Each structure stands twice: as structure tokens, then as C-alpha cells.
A and B are shown apart, each in its own frame.
Chain A
């Protein structure tokens, strides 16, 4: 019998971040996975980051997680999406070499002193009353722990579909974990079914690269981790090709043979990541769709054609792929498939990702209805932090919609649940002007330092950067300029008689550092990195000031927790309809209650009055 603080079940992106975070918090942690070799495997496309997702990677990194550093080690192409738009909606993205990513993750895990990797199948949860006590592995051995994090992806009732063939599987080549699934089903948790798809994989040497448009990476790479200061791996280009009317004809003629269209799948797929079948039937007027040919690695012979995921039979896949320019002789190494799986309704979780019905039991990743490595990793981090806090008898840590995309995601999941696989977008974050990828460290690293999950190296790097930022700001603020002075220097500025300091000028259009340095030469001594950071901050200065009061109101609403056992039918003056809605949604905070559809200010006041009464009673 072995006693751990935290046991993490599952070695995907959520499991790895959860185990590492728990370990950094000082918890004796076991990471239980089928195969040690599978840690750090990318089961879908060979890329990290993008819009919203790149923000999540930076936030994981700011809290000293592994994803940012490992993806920089694996990066074979860097691209900053939305480079032409403002910094808030720019998302760093990399093509990642699968082998290098796996190696990087396995090294980080091996070097985590408090994390044991246990190669086994978890066959049961050990539960006493409403508290989890540990797990049983391989049907016999008990591992005891104060907290368990379950990050088992699509294993719950996972089923793979290729055309009219289907078989149970966690992902291609892995057995689905069925015994644990039965136990979870028996717990009477609210569950639903989702699906996701993958494209056929192609042999690199069988593609006619010469005939295709190349997409190179950025000249100046934007790294995923705040700790990375140089490009590590050799860089390559991707290629872009397009589907055509011939491709569409073949897909259309075989729609009834598609697992998704033939009525074999009941799960709901993501609208934002449609299969080729979806694209062709729902957007019939478009006669061509983009296909990105993404190499899976430097020495890898496999290419991931992003944009043509499918569940058509293998021979149809071959036929339509070969209609596409550059792919006329393409060999399929593994046909595309759809996978359907159960998820647990995340409204059953509290804001620390703990299942409300079972103390010490945390869920992260696809099992909560999300999709994507970054979404999984971010949840793993939160669950790992809170599992460690729980094991130590400490209060959970909270993320706010106003401090992070992590906060937005957890709030969305636990308050609204999901109707399709949940993916992050920048438009989900109402305060995205302040939640930028470039300032994730300033937003979260101080919290991470306070919680104890940030190691000495990052702490040092962050503190030096912060000092540099503060002294640069002080320097800028120390010099003020009158409109007359500025106009004499040939700059357009309104004649309002206001003296403006250097930082304020940076927020006006037409005043970059190139101009500021002509006004006061010592401004040139500020390092390029800090100049860039300050410029990004000042782009939104006027808008951020306007949002300040809204953010303050949101924070105070988020700080007011609503007990999960609150009986809404007992609140006098609350309409029956709203009481029912509240009992169904079980908001965790006043902020969540306020966003419930149909909620009225009057009802919120009643709710607030009730909470205050209870708090008063509790204090008395």
C-alpha cells in the first residue's frame, strides 16, 4: 500500500500538467498511465497555440507549466496569428515535432522530484462516503491519496468510426478503459455524448511539394514560453493546397457512407472544426476549401492535412484525397476517423474543478467536454493545483474571468456546461483587451509565486522583467511635455493645455518610441523587449480605463460564493421560474447567477440579501 497526496489518472496533456503542478506545489504525486512512453503524445494535429489557445499556453507557462517550454523545444515553425491586428487578439502558434514534444515532456516529468510515474490501468476509485480515498490499479493494488485527478480524455465509452465500421477505443491503437467507466456511470453523474474527427494521415514522400504554395514561418519568432530566448529546432515550411469540385463530387456521392452522416453517431461535433462532409453539405456554394499540409516532425514521414477530417470509408478517403493538387499520388498511412465519447457535464464541478458530489475528486480535459491540447493542459494545471491544495487542507485557488482565459474557460464550463466540444476563442473573453498573450506573466506569475507553483528560475526571470518594466515606466513618467512643445517638434496633438508624460504619449496615435526618443534621448536606453511590452499596454489604455469599474464589479460578484446546497425555493419574493432556473444551474458565485438567462436585477438583490443573512447567521 502506498500513500500519495495526489494521484493523477491519465497521461495526456491534462494529466501531465496536473501531475507537474501538484508536484511543484510540494504534493507527493503519482501519475498513473497505461504506457509511460505515451506521455506527451499529440493525438490530433501537430500544433500548439493559435487564437485563444496561444493565450492559454502562455497562461500555463506563466504558472510554470510544461506546455510552453516543451512546445518551444518541439517548434519547427513559428507563426503569430493576427499579426496585423492589435496585441490582444494576436495568438502565438507553432508546428510541433511529435518526437521532440514527447521527449521534452518526458524529460520534464522525469526531472519532477515529487512525481512518480506508475504504469498501470486504474480499475476502480476507492470511495468512502462522499470522499475519494485513492485508486485501485490492475484490479488488485490500492494506491491511497487525499485527492485524485481524473484526466482520461475520450476513454469514457470511446468509440471509433471509419465509414460503417466502428469499434470501442480510447484513441487509435489504445484500449478504452471500460471498468472504471462502468463505476463512473454507476455514480449517476450527468453525462452527454460528443464527437470529434481526424483527417487521414499522408506519407510525406508521396506528396508533390514542388507544385504547392509554401507557407513559411515568421521571420521573427514569437516564442510560446516566457523563458525561451532562442529558436531551438530547425525551422520548416508548411504547404497549402485546396479542395476542388471533383473532391466535393466524390464526398457528396458518398455522404451516406460517412459515419457522421449515415446516422451512426449521436454525439454532437464542433461547429468550428467541421469535417469535410460538413463543409461540403453545409456550405454548398463554396467550391474550394483550404488544406494545410503540416509535417508531423523533422524526421517524421507523416503529414497531417489540416482541414479534411472525415469519417468516410478508407477507400473513399483515398479517392477524394487524390483529387487534390499535390496529393495526386498521396499514400494514406492511417485513414481519418471520428471518435465519439461520453463527457461528464462540467456543471457538476465547482470552480476548482472538483466534482461537487465527491470530495477530493477532480476532473480535467476532454472528460469535461472540451477539445484541444491547450484547453486540456490549462484545466489539468488548475485541477493539479487544487488537488494539491485540497491534500494539504488549504482553500482552493480561484481564477477570474477578468484575470485569465483559464478563468473564462472554467467559468463557462461550470456555469453553462457544453453543447459541443468547448474550444477557446478570444471572443469568449469579454475583457480580452487586458487578457493578452503578451502579459500572461504579469497577470498570473505573481499569483503562482504566492501559491507556490512557480520555480526559482521563472521567479527570477519574471522579477527582473518586472523591475525593468517599472523603471522604464518611471523614466517615461518623469518627463512631461506641453502641447506647445510637441507642436514645435512637429507633432500633431490637441491644444488642451494638458502636460503629458512619456507613458501617456505612448497611448496616443503617432507617438511610438521612435518619436519619443527624439523628444528625450534617454528613452532610447530602454530595452527592445520592454519597449514592445509598454507599447502593447498603451494601445488599449483608454478602453482599459473604461472597463476598470466593470471589472471591479465583476470581481466582487465573483468573490461572493453561493453555497451549492442553497434552497432557492425558500427565497421569499423569488419567482418560481427563476428559482427553478437557479436550482438547475446551481451558480457557484453571484457573477455566474447574474449571467443566467432571464435573470433580473431584482432577483439578484433577493439572492444577495439571502446570502448576507446566512453569512450573518454563520458569524453569530
Chain B
């Protein structure tokens, strides 16, 4: 078993740099450099020296024992002065030990997974946490990192194991006069089905927390969509002018709105009989807007035509309030009037979307849940129709269990693993 090491903090000048060592020789090599080690889980200041006694740096040394560390192996962390030369000298010294080598990208995390310190969803969450830019992303990742998905799946699995056991009892112990379990089986299966459905209903919103919500600005030509976007972004992101049809395609501006990652989509203005190139832009804009999580529909305050019909995820604003009579939802990119109201409204809508209880975050999670749910629906339909073929119900339940297992990484996830680990930076 190799002992591996790597710089765990960002490379480059910094106040402190952290070098992590993991594996059977993690404590041995640290003792050789530091002379002696502080007690486990207690930081101690030590002078690090190389093989010939040359001083390397004065460092805080922190040791963790096998089974109680991030990787599950013996771990030492060296907190040294964050200069390129210091880090290089220490890495060079560690590399002198032939049982040590530089860690591959993601290798510490991989060992944590191998040693059962984390399940697959926790590894994903760690990646999300490291990538987190907004408060909501941080909170969500931390929850999954804490093992929230594993707990939910374990509950579902327990129900399914019970249902499977009841089905198998009716098959293998038919001689034992055991009675009919259909109601009990249905109860177990429906409990999981309901859980899956409620979890899936909120999954898209949680995935959006990670990947960013899309909010589309739509409205007639020259309604002030680009001006509004600029006002929101506080900078000239879109090209705006008073000539109708300036925005020919979809412009995207990514922002942190109240802790949510939001991408505003500025779409080409809607009008009849445009020129051909612009028509393509309008079509694209419409398609993107239809898929967006929220739509802000602009109608200038001086436009007296009928108000558009609003869907559940639509917000109507009366733009150019500086030009017309003030009414509800009025904003002005020029005076800044109503901008705070609009931002608050967006935050309120997004937090309503994410308010559902749930823990699954990724598209991969949704796929596994859909497979599991399909298996359960098949099983439940068969039982409800009566006079069912028990071994096929058993096969359906097995399908559901396998799908849930793949969620937390019990079986056949090498593809997913490769993908996850390739997204890791060295030393994390």
C-alpha cells in the first residue's frame, strides 16, 4: 500500500500552505522530519528537517489515526509557510522516501470512498462544496456531505427488503400456510414510491441550486429587457440601444441573487414580421424562456395593450416606469425604481421552489430514482391487478433495489467514479 502526499491548499504564494500525507508511512515520515509528533488530533509546532538535518521550515503538525481520518488511513497534515520554495523543498524531502509518492488527482477522496469513510453521494457533495460559489450551494452540499442521501436510501431500502422478503415467503414457503401478504407488500412499496415521488418533485430545484437557476427576461421589442439586465448586473453586459431588435440571440449573465446562483437570460424581443436572422433569434429566445425556471415578463408602463396571461413561474413587471403612470410592479432601469422589489420577488420565488424537503441533487440521482420508481410502479400495478406472477413482482423489486444501490454507489458505478474523480483537483 503506497503512502501518498500532496499540497492540499492552492498552489502559489499564501500565508499558510497545507501538505497532506496519507497511508501506512504517514506518521513515520512525519516523525523523521519533525523529531517527534504531537498527540493525535492536536496541533504542535515543530521544526521540520530533511534527511541530513537541514532546516526546512517551522510548521504546525497535525496527525490523525487510521479509521479516524479523512481517508481512513494514518494521516499527517503539515501546515507550513506558503511560499513556493518552502512547499517545493518539503515535497522534495517527502519524495526521497521510496514508499511515498505524489497523489493522483482525487486520490485522497478515492481512498476515503474505498475505506468506507464516505459514500458516493458524499464524494459528489464534497466536490460540490469545493465548487460552491453561493450560500445556498454551500448549505445544500454540506447537507449531502453529512450523508443525507445515504440515510434516505437506507430507509427506502429497508422497506424494499421487507417487501421482497414477503414476496419470497409466499414463493418459497407456500407449504407453511403463511397467508396473504398483499396488503403489507403494497404498504411497503407505496411508502417508497411516495418517498421517491416527493423526492423527485424537488430534485430539479435542488439540481438548479448547484447548476444555477435560469430566469428569462421576455417581452415585446424595445420593452427594456436589456436595460433591466444591465441595471440588475450593474454593468453593461448586454448591448442596449433604443433601436428595436438590438438583442439578436440569447445573452446570459450569471449572478448571485440572495445566495442563489442565477443566470439571467436576455432574449430577443418579440415582434411580428421580423427580418430572417432576427426571427431565428426570437425562436431561440422563446425556446430558452420556456425552459427557464422563472420568466420575467416586461410590458412598458406606457403600453396600454392587454396584460399577458401569467403562468405560475412568471413575474409581470411594468418597465420604463419613468415614462408612464406608476402602477404595481413598476420598475425603471433609469431611476432604479422597483429593482429591489424585483430582486426580492425573485428570491421569494426561488426559495419557494427549493422549499420542498429533499436531499437528492444531481441528474444522476434523478435517473436512479426514476428507474427505481418505474420498478415499483410495475410491481404495484401487478399486485393491484390481482392474481399476479409473484416472481415477476420480485424481479421488479430487485430492479428498484439495484437502482437505489447505484445511487449511493454500491454497484456498477465505475463510470460515475471516473467522472467524479476526474473533476477533482490534486490534494483535495
Real complex partners, A and B?
yes
- Chain A residues packing against B (C-beta within 8 Å): 50-52, 81-82, 85-86, 88-89, 272, 290, 425-427, 430, 432-433, 539-540, 543, 569, 572-579, 598, 600-605
The answer, yes or no, to whether B172 is at the interface (CB within 8 Å) is yes
Q: A51-B174, A81-B174 are in contact. Are A601 and B414 (CB under 8 A)?
A: yes
Q: Are B175 and A601 in contact (CB under 8 A)?
A: no
- Chain B residues packing against A (C-beta within 8 Å): 1-2, 24, 66, 72-73, 110-111, 113-116, 168, 171-177, 389-392, 394-395, 398, 409, 411-414, 417
- Pairs of residues from A and B, 9 with the lowest C-beta to C-beta distance, nearest first: A427-B168, A86-B389, A601-B414, A425-B172, A575-B115, A575-B114, A89-B171, A89-B391, A88-B391
Q: Which of B1, B2, B172, B395 contacts A433 (CB 8 A)?
A: B395
For B2, the chain A residues whose CB sits under 8 A away are 572-573
Q: Are B116 and A598 in contact (CB under 8 A)?
A: yes
For A426, the chain B residues whose CB sits under 8 A away are 171-172, 391
For B394, the chain A residues whose CB sits under 8 A away are 427
Q: Are A82 and B174 in contact (CB under 8 A)?
A: yes
Q: Are B110 and A81 in contact (CB under 8 A)?
A: no
Q: Are B395 and A569 in contact (CB under 8 A)?
A: no
For A600, the chain B residues whose CB sits under 8 A away are 113-114, 409
Chain B interface, DSSP helix/strand/loop, else mixed? helix
Q: Are B417 and A601 in contact (CB under 8 A)?
A: yes
Nearest CB of A to B159, in Å: 18
Nearest CB of B to A52, in Å: 7
For A540, the chain B residues whose CB sits under 8 A away are 392
For A576, the chain B residues whose CB sits under 8 A away are 1, 24, 66, 73, 115
For B66, the chain A residues whose CB sits under 8 A away are 576
10 extra interface residue pairs, beta carbon distance < 8 Å, beyond A89-B171, A89-B391, A600-B409 = A52-B172, A81-B174, A82-B171, A88-B391, A433-B391, A433-B395, A543-B392, A576-B66, A601-B414, A604-B414
Alpha-carbon distance A85/B394, docked complex (angstroms): 12
For B176, the chain A residues whose CB sits under 8 A away are 290
Residue of B nearest to A572 (CB): B2
Residue of A nearest to B394 (CB): A427
Nearest CB of B to A290, in Å: 5
For A89, the chain B residues whose CB sits under 8 A away are 171-172, 390-391
Residue of B nearest to A306 (CB): B175
Q: Are B174 and A602 in contact (CB under 8 A)?
A: no
Nearest CB of B to A604, in Å: 8
Nearest CB of B to A483, in Å: 23
For A574, the chain B residues whose CB sits under 8 A away are 1, 114
Q: Are B389 and A85 in contact (CB under 8 A)?
A: yes
Nearest CB of A to B243, in Å: 53
19 contacts between A and B (CB under 8 A): A51-B171, A52-B172, A85-B174, A86-B391, A88-B391, A272-B173, A425-B168, A426-B171, A427-B168, A427-B394, A572-B2, A573-B1, A575-B111, A576-B1, A576-B66, A576-B115, A598-B116, A601-B409, A602-B114
Q: A572-B1, A576-B1, A600-B113 are in contact. Are A432 and B391 (CB under 8 A)?
A: yes
Residue of B nearest to A86 (CB): B389
Alpha-carbon distance A576/B175, docked complex (angstroms): 46
For A577, the chain B residues whose CB sits under 8 A away are 72, 115-116
Nearest CB of B to A85, in Å: 5
Q: Which of B114, B116, B168 has most A Cβ within 10 Å?
A: B114
Residue of B nearest to A571 (CB): B1
For B110, the chain A residues whose CB sits under 8 A away are 602
Residue of B nearest to A425 (CB): B172
Q: Are A86 and B390 in contact (CB under 8 A)?
A: yes
For A598, the chain B residues whose CB sits under 8 A away are 116
Nearest CB of B to A305, in Å: 14
Residue of A nearest to B411 (CB): A601
Q: Are B391 and A601 in contact (CB under 8 A)?
A: no
For B171, the chain A residues whose CB sits under 8 A away are 51, 82, 85, 89, 426-427
Nearest CB of B to A598, in Å: 6
Q: Which of A86, A272, A425 contacts B392 (CB 8 A)?
A: A86
Q: A569-B1, A573-B1 are in contact. Are A578 and B174 (CB under 8 A)?
A: no
